[in-house]
Amino acid sequence: MAKRIAILLLLAASATAWPDVRRDGLQVDVTRDGRLYSLFARFDTPLTKCAAYRYLTDYEAATALPGVIESSASRESAHKVKVERVADERVLFFKLRLHSVMEYTEKPFDGVAFTQLSGDSKLFQGNWRIEPNEAGSTLTFRGLWEPDTVIPLFIVDHFAKNGLVDKFTAIARLADKRKQLPPARCSD
């Protein structure tokens, strides 16, 4: 068992030498208190506040993000949406299929909040805030995550920090591509 952990640590340590293709201006932070992770990300986008809100609430478009296999949404009320997602994650040489059902509360045109109703984490909740700026808008994500895993947390720490940089880079780049779409309708 000690040999397996040493090999995992060696592989995890070697991953830190791989180049980080972070998007310019992206800020990502992950901290852990016990088993609970606090997640933070912020980036500027050329999208207007309205277009950024439409981007965040286009739940089916998540399939354009790496690893997201399915994403379907059903409106529960005027500002509540239930979203079911299936995604593949890679940890070392293993591919994991993850499933979640989330409830989103929309706050036009300021952001969205979400909480996991069911899924492969013990807890996942958070929010996106949209703030206008002179070049478009700034998107800020804050979340809490408690994994449901037997993998030692020091290994989860490494993959959480590096994986979030990759995920939020993809989210920011997809937002940049949305600038090319026709302007979003912004009446509610």
Q: What is the CATH number of the domain that holds 121?
A: 3.30.530.20
pLDDT given at position 134: 95
pLDDT given at position 155: 83
- Residue 104 in any domain: the answer is yes
**pLDDT averaged over consecutive 10-residue blocks of the chain (188 residues)?**
32 36 83 96 95 96 94 97 93 80 97 97 97 96 93 84 90 89 62
DSSP 3-state of 112: strand
Q: What is the pTM of this model?
A: 0.84
pLDDT given at position 179: 80
- Residue 136 in any domain: the answer is yes
Nearest to 172 by CA among 142, 132, 137, 124: 137
Q: Read off φ and ψ for residue 149, nearest 5 degrees.
A: -145, 155
Instruction: Compute the residue count for the chain.
Output: 188
Measured in whole angstroms, the distance separating CA 176 from the mean position of its chain's CA atoms is 16
Q: Give the total number of structural domains in the chain.
A: 1
Q: Give residue 112's domain range.
A: 29-178
- Residue 184 in any domain: the answer is no
- Residue 101 in any domain: the answer is yes
- Residue 76 in any domain: the answer is yes
AA letter at 155: I
- Residue 11 in any domain: the answer is no
- Residue 138 in any domain: the answer is yes
- Residue 149 in any domain: the answer is yes
Can you point out the beta strands (E) in 22-135? 27-33, 36-45, 68-77, 80-91, 94-107, 111-119, 121-133
pLDDT given at position 168: 95
pLDDT given at position 184: 59
